Amino acid sequence: MRAILDVRQKVAALYNRFPYPNYPLLARPRWQDGFLTSSYFAGRLCAQDVRATTSPRGDVLVAGCGEMLPYIIRKWEPGGTVVVNVDLSGRSLGRGRVRTLFCRGASEFHEQDILEFLEVCGARGRTFAHIETFGMLHHMDDPLPAIRAMTRQLAPGGTIRVMVYNSPARQWIHALQDYFSVILREQLETDLVAAAHMARRILQGFAETSPLVADRIRAIGPGTMKNPARLADTFLHPHELRWPIERWFTGFSSAGLRLAGLFDRYGELDDLPNPLWNFHTRQDTAQDTAQDTAQDTAKLLAERAADRRFEGNLEMVWTCPAEMRASEKIPPRDARHLSRLKFRGPPHIWFEFEETRHLSVTNRIRIWHAFLDANKIGAEVWGKNDRTLQRLARLGAIMPDQLDAPRALIAARKMEDAMSPPELPRHMPLARDGDTGPHASALRTLDAALSQLTSRDQA
């Protein structure tokens, strides 16, 4: 128990110092880019009646909400849905509350550990139509009880959207986390801001010496280096589980959930059948079969993570098994809410790929409106190009219920025969011969861990 409290306190301290993702309070984010967070998207993926996905059908829980998701999800959910935000960090909740002040619909804010919160919900019989938990579970001492508790509090047919780290792809980050935990020990306990600034300077210095570090830092993008909250979240975290992919999949499926879709944000899984749709048609299979399918998927991902063909995080939607669903009475569609969504432009990510970049503004808007209405959509919209259709389907811009059977088959097919792993540049040692300073051994340990990443490729 003491260890659990220790983890919670350290995690709360980090996010109280650096609420995540720490965007300016007056910034007006393009909330429609957060379509993946919505109960609408998860419901569509699980082949639910479209009326059920656009009407208030139960509360939505945001587990480990941080400071931005309370706003984004409030914008996505119909006014009649209560958005229930839970986080260990009071400061993140405070910022989330300010952002939602002028939004339609009710929001709740609870400064509590998620497991404790769910236990109270269990005692009071409170359930949720949808649970969003992005980037939280891997910061818990043991996420399995929380996964089981979330499943228990899901309403029939409920959905969970989750992101957890793809740990095998983060070995270089783990090596740096271990290094900083030694050399910045004092600052990490007394002054997190100073620790973040020092870590940034050190990383910049390392990148000048080691092409490997320079390459990896480039790959995570300038946003992480510039934003101290993201830098601390990545490199200075007091508690990040390093679980193999299979362990997460076992955790979710043994709780009684089944995989509804896997979001391939960077198009790394084009040699697999559409991973977002792959499970959509299998919702009625027995739970044992669904567990086997989930394990097969986990194995495929683990193989690809091992040679870096797959570096993205695990972004998944899970749902209750079909036999747990009850026939719900669906309230009428919230038409005003839908019009407000339509008024905004479509998510950027749909049109950032080579197969979709060329689409005209008119066709982008048609795709967006058809997505929101769950209307059928024809080949003229994607320029009759199968690869454009396939990419849009992998990004969730076109869902299975919008296509006739032959086109749905095309959209579900793999796009490539094989994907090749990215080549990593070599690591150049950061420790100098004869270094004997107090941190020399930490630097040598770091060198050894980083060199191993590329030596495995050459072996």
Decide whether 70 or 400 has the Cβ nearer to ligand SAM: 70
Q: How far is the CB of 90 from ligand SAM (least distance, A)?
A: 9
CB-based burial of residue 323 (10 Å sphere; 0-12 exposed, 13-18 middle, 19+ buried)? Answer: exposed
- Least CB distance to ligand SAM at residue 75 (A): 14
DSSP-derived letter for residue 107 is E
| Strand stretches in 218-301, DSSP E | 258-262
11 versus 183: smaller Cβ distance to ligand SAM:
11
Q: How far apart are CA 383 and CA 391, in angstroms?
A: 13
Strands (E) in 165-313, as ranges, are 258-262
Rounded (10°) CA dihedral 38, 42, 43, 45: 140
The DSSP bridge pattern shows strands 128-134 and 154-164 to be parallel
When the beta carbons of 37 and 356 are compared against ligand SAM, the nearer one is 37
Which element (helix H / strand E) includes 182?
helix 171-183
Nearest distance in Å: CB 60, ligand SAM: 13
Q: Which CB atom, from 88 or from 150, has the smaller least distance to ligand SAM?
A: 88
Nearest distance in Å: CB 273, ligand SAM: 28
- Beta bridge partners of residue 154, listed in sequence order: 128
Strand 60-63 relative to strand 128-134: parallel, antiparallel, unpaired?
A: parallel
β-pair type (107-111, 83-87): parallel
Pairing of strands 154-164, 258-262: unpaired
Interacting residues with ligand SAM (CB under 6 A): 8, 11, 15, 20-21, 64-66, 68-69, 86-89, 92, 113-114, 134-136, 139-140, 233
HSE (side-chain half, CA atoms, 13 Å) at 340: 14
Closest to ligand SAM by CB, 230 or 309: 230
Q: Closest distance between ligand SAM and the C-beta of residue 277, in Å?
A: 24
Instruction: Name the residue nearer to ligand SAM (CB basis): 135 or 156.
Output: 135
Residue 331: is the preceding peptide bond cis (ω within 30°)?
Answer: no
Q: Look at residues 114, 127, 109 and name the one whose alpha carbon lies nearest to residue 58.
A: 127
Distance of closest approach, residue 116 Cβ to ligand SAM, in angstroms: 8
Closest by Cα among 200, 138, 124 to 166:
138
Q: Name every residue whose Cβ is closer than 8 Å to that of residue 68 and which is 6 or more positions away in sequence.
A: 20, 21, 23, 29, 96, 99
Measured distance between the N- and C-terminal CA atoms of the chain, rounded to whole angstroms: 44
The residue number with the shortest CB distance to ligand SAM is 66
Minimum distance from CB of 353 to ligand SAM (Å)? 23
Cβ closer to ligand SAM: 53 or 85? Answer: 85
**Residue with Cβ nearer ligand SAM (313 or 402):** 313
Please identify, using beta-carbon distances, which residue of 84 and 88 lies nearer to ligand SAM: 88
Q: Are the C-beta atoms of residues 236 and 196 closer than 8 Å to each other?
A: yes
Write down the least CB distance from residue 170 to ligand SAM, Å: 14
In angstroms, give the least distance from the CB of 163 to ligand SAM. 7
Which helix H or strand E contains 286, and what residues bound it? none
- Residue 239 or residue 444: which is nearer to ligand SAM going by CB? 239
- Nearest distance in Å: CB 196, ligand SAM: 15
Q: What angle do CA 40, 41, 47 make, to 5 degrees?
A: 90
Give yes or no for a contact between 203 and 215, defined as CB atoms under 8 angstroms apart: no
Query: What is the C-alpha to C-alpha distance for residues 375 and 371, in angstroms, rounded to an integer?
Result: 7
The residue among 277 and 318 lying less far from ligand SAM, judged by its C-beta, is 318
